[in-house]
């Protein structure tokens, strides 16, 4: 239903109502009807046949039932007429101000802690993994650096404790059977010096059987240094790298008199504690469970080692000495716990037998001579053991494999004699 109604200033309004009956009834009863109720945009037609458009807020049509057939137009606002082809482009906003990175970082202060990778630390090397472990404990627990170093040292020592106990058992077992082993070694050396190789081989075989019976293996005694050395070296390079960088948090990560972990101890207390604890560790045989009394003058070398190290470790960073002191103190606590009889029975650690000097054949010779002789005897025993193993393999192979040909003539085949055509068979 299309309707046209005149407006002021010679303008006609024309729009299309909805087809619904409800809107038609509203128009018939002269209820309030505005341009908003139409689906299409209202078009305004002037006398000069020029179409313009108004916004919905610009005009409103009101019908009054008191005046039959007469319309009054109420304009909500005047002067909002715009042509449909006119486009308004907003002004370009000003460019944002760029803040320099340097001033932004400086404004953050000391609360920002850089990552290990950003300062060239970390990685997947042994020392890099130790640095990642230390950084993880420091950031996750909130402990200061000195406590982080001590806690990580204790954790590593606890994890290595089963291997240490296993190596200590073998060292004690080897020490308890040392006189018998040295006696066999002396007999084997004497037989070899006299040129009796058969007797030397027999004694070497006897030594191998004795070591198997007593479950003695000299290589198992190397478990302790093979485990301790890589751990110590990894912590050494990890802490030295973090202190030499230096990490800013290391400068305030200490305690008591060594607050700065990047510099040596100014009072030399940490180096002194390190040397004293190392001396006690060597003297008590804490790691191996065997004291150095049976090794002649080697015990004097071990006793002099802490004194010789003191001039060098006084220049180490406090972070490194903090690790070393913690490791030595834990080792002393470990040997104190392993001296308790109930603990030794629970861990099945044998009792240590102290031998007299007269019972040891090696003590009658010099240190280097004894070491060289022991190495030679061990090499001969190993060769004999390899020969016995190879003979056993050949014996088993001969029982299940084909018969090995050990002759040039096969008796299963018959040969005919050459000559006057005789057909007499001969057997080669």
The residue from 21, 43, 74 where one domain ends is 74
Domain membership of residue 141 (yes or no) is yes
Q: Within this chain, do residues 277 and 170 fall inside the same structural domain, yes or no?
A: yes
Q: Within this chain, do residues 34 and 168 fall inside the same structural domain, yes or no?
A: no
Spatial distance between the Cα atoms of 114 and 248, rounded to a whole number of angstroms: 10
Residue 209 zone, left/alpha/beta (φ > 0; ψ -120 to 50; rest): alpha
**What kind and span of H or E run contains 124?**
none
pLDDT at 397: 81
Domain count across the chain: 2
pLDDT at 359: 60
The residue from 42, 59, 74 where one domain ends is 74
pLDDT at 165: 85
Spatial distance between the Cα atoms of 122 and 241, rounded to a whole number of angstroms: 10
Q: Tell the residue number behind the tokens 């040129």, with chain if given.
A: 195
Q: Within this chain, do residues 70 and 124 fall inside the same structural domain, yes or no?
A: no
Q: Tell the residue number behind the tokens 């087809």, with chain if given.
A: 19
Domain membership of residue 82 (yes or no) is no
pLDDT at 97: 75
**What kind and span of H or E run contains 103?**
helix 101-108
Q: Within this chain, do residues 266 and 155 fall inside the same structural domain, yes or no?
A: yes
Q: Within this chain, do residues 140 and 279 fall inside the same structural domain, yes or no?
A: yes
| Among 249, 281, 279, CA closest to 262 | 249
What are the pLDDT tens digits along the chain (428 aa)?
A: 444 444 444 444 444 444 555 555 555 544 444 444 444 444 444 444 444 444 444 444 444 444 444 444 444 444 444 444 556 677 777 877 766 655 555 555 555 556 666 666 777 888 888 888 888 888 888 888 889 999 999 999 899 888 888 888 888 888 888 888 878 878 877 777 776 778 878 888 888 888 888 888 777 777 777 888 888 888 888 888 888 877 778 888 888 888 888 888 888 888 899 999 888 888 776 444 555 444 556 677 778 888 888 888 888 888 888 999 999 999 888 888 888 888 888 888 887 777 666 666 555 555 566 666 666 767 776 777 777 788 888 888 877 877 777 777 766 776 555 554 444 544 44
| Among 175, 180, 169, 161, CA closest to 291 | 175
Task: Please state, in angstroms and as integers, the Cα–Cα distance from residue 224 to each residue in 47, 157, 162, 371, 407, following that order.
Answer: 110, 12, 11, 20, 55
Domain membership of residue 203 (yes or no) is no
Domain around 247: 119-177+214-364
Q: Within this chain, do residues 161 and 19 fall inside the same structural domain, yes or no?
A: no
Q: Within this chain, do residues 173 and 67 fall inside the same structural domain, yes or no?
A: no
pLDDT at 376: 72
Domain membership of residue 238 (yes or no) is yes
pLDDT at 399: 78
Q: With a threshold of 0.75, does the pTM exceed it?
A: no
The residue from 340, 364, 388 where one domain ends is 364
Domain membership of residue 192 (yes or no) is no
Q: Within this chain, do residues 273 and 132 fall inside the same structural domain, yes or no?
A: yes
Spatial distance between the Cα atoms of 318 and 250, rounded to a whole number of angstroms: 10
Spatial distance between the Cα atoms of 235 and 213, rounded to a whole number of angstroms: 40
**Length of the chain in terms of residues written:** 428
Q: Within this chain, do residues 145 and 282 fall inside the same structural domain, yes or no?
A: yes
Look up residue 290 and give its DSSP letter.
Answer: -
Q: Within this chain, do residues 53 and 125 fall inside the same structural domain, yes or no?
A: no
Domain membership of residue 382 (yes or no) is no
Q: Within this chain, do residues 279 and 352 fall inside the same structural domain, yes or no?
A: yes
Look up residue 118 and give its DSSP letter.
Answer: G
Q: Within this chain, do residues 272 and 129 fall inside the same structural domain, yes or no?
A: yes
């Amino acid at each position: 239903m299309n309707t046209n109604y005149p407006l002021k200033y010679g303008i006609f309004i024309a729009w299309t109502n909805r087809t619904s009956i409800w809107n038609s009834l509203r128009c018939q009863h002269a209820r309030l009807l505005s341009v908003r109720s139409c689906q299409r945009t209202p078009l305004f037609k002037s006398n000069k046949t020029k179409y313009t458009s108004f916004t919905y807020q610009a005009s409103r049509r009101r019908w009054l039932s008191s005046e039959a057939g007469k319309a009054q137009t109420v304009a909500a606002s005047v002067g909002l007429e715009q042509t449909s082809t006119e486009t308004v482009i907003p002004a370009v906003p000003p460019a944002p101000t760029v803040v320099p990175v340097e001033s932004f970082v400086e404004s953050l202060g000391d609360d920002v802690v850089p990552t290990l990778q950003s300062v060239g630390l970390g990685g997947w090397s042994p020392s890099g993994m130790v640095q990642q472990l230390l950084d993880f404990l420091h950031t996750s627990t909130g402990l200061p650096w000195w406590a982080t170093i001590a806690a990580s040292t204790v954790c590593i020592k606890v994890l290595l404790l089963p291997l240490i106990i296993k190596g200590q058992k073998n060292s004690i077992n080897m020490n308890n059977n040392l006189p018998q082993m040295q006696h066999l070694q002396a007999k084997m050396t004497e037989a070899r010096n006299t040129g009796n190789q058969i007797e030397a081989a027999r004694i070497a075989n006897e030594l191998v059987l004795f070591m198997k019976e007593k479950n003695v293996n000299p290589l198992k005694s190397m478990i302790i240094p093979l485990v301790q050395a890589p751990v110590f070296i990894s912590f050494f390079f990890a802490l030295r790298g973090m202190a030499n960088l230096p990490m800013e948090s290391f400068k305030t990560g200490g305690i008591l008199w060594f607050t700065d972990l990047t510099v040596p101890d100014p009072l030399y207390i940490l180096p002194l504690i390190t040397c004293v604890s190392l001396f006690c560790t060597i003297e008590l045989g804490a790691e191996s469970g065997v004291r150095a009394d049976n090794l002649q003058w080697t015990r004097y070398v071990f006793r002099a080692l802490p004194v010789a190290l003191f001039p060098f470790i006084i220049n180490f960073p406090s972070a490194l000495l903090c690790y070393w002191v913690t490791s030595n103190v834990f080792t002393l606590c470990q040997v104190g716990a392993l001296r308790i009889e109930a603990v030794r029975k629970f861990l099945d650690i044998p009792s240590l037998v102290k031998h007299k000097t007269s019972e040891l054949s090696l003590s009658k010779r010099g240190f280097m001579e004894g070491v060289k002789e022991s190495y030679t005897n061990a090499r001969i025993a190993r060769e004999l053991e390899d020969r016995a193993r190879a003979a056993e393999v050949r014996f088993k192979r001969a029982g299940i494999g084909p018969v090995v040909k050990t002759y040039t003539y096969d008796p299963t085949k018959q040969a005919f004699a050459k000559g006057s055509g005789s057909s007499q068979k001969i057997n080669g």
